[in-house]
Structures are given as C-alpha cells and as structure tokens.
Homo-oligomer: A and B are copies of this chain.
Amino acid sequence: MLKNSEFVSKLRNSGLRPTKQRLKICEVLFNRDKTFHFTINDLAKNISENFNEKISLATIYNTVHAFKDKGYLKEITISSDKSYFDTNITKHHHFYDEDTNLLIDCNDNEIGKVNIKNNITGKKISSVEVLVRVASDTQNQS
C-alpha cells in the first residue's frame, strides 16, 4: 500500500529514473496488501487489460529484471518453460500445485528450518529454497 511519491523515491534511490512505465508497474506490483506470484505474461496481460497504458513487452522484461536486480522481486523457477516472480522478498518456501500451476507461500509453521550440516568448501550459501510439489489426491501414479 505505497503511494506514487514513495515509488518515485524508491526508484530514484535505486538509480532508476521514475518513468511512467516503471511507476505503473510499481503500482501494479506493490500497491496492494498482500504479496503475490506472477509471470511476465501475467503482468503484461494485467497491465494491458486493466489499464489504458500500453507498455511494451521489452520494457516489462527490462523493468522486472531491474527490480529483481535491486532486490524488489525474487525469481522462482519451477519448470524450464516459465519463470515466476515473487513480490514477497523475505526468505520463504513454496508449495507448487501441479493441478492449478499455482505457487503458494509456506509459512514457518508449515516447513521447519532446513538444517544444512555441511556446505561445499570455499563456497558461500546464497539461498536455500524448498519446493514442495503437491497434486490432487486422486489420479496419481501414471
């Protein structure tokens, strides 16, 4: 629930010029109560259907990647043919519903802390992500 002037500052502070396109994307992504997951295609469709503005696909890609680089979005990879982005940038895990293709955040009461006992020598852990795939109880095992 941030307002326009806050987005302007946020962008300026990140070295990104507050253009009309970026502000619209900020509004769509960050001006809401709850975080959510989206694909580039979702976002493009959302903007073109619900607003008069037409933002080119290239700009949507550029902006989403810029926001990811600045740490305002996280990227979640579930399958090789689609990339999901997450406006929840806190450390958390996911359920992936294979029936609906929907990503669902895990709370700490759903997945306990992952215990990493040994790491690769000379390397630093940059992230730890758990993906729990779930599917409808019926129609299993092909």
Which residues does A use to contact B, with CB under 8 Å?
69, 77-83, 95, 97-99, 104, 109-112, 114-120, 122-137, 140, 142
Q: How far is the CB of A57 from chain B (nearest CB, A)?
A: 16
CB atoms of A110 and B114 under 8 A apart: no
CB atoms of B117 and A114 under 8 A apart: no
CB atoms of B112 and A117 under 8 A apart: yes
Complex formed: what's the CA distance from A117 to B95 in Å? Answer: 13
Copies in the complex: 2
Q: Which residues of B contact A110 (CB under 8 A)?
A: 116-119
A124 interface neighbour in B115, B129, B131, B135, Cβ under 8 Å:
B135
Give 9 new A-B contacts, CB below 8 A, not counting A97-B123, A123-B134.
A69-B142, A77-B78, A77-B79, A110-B119, A112-B114, A112-B116, A126-B134, A127-B131, A128-B130
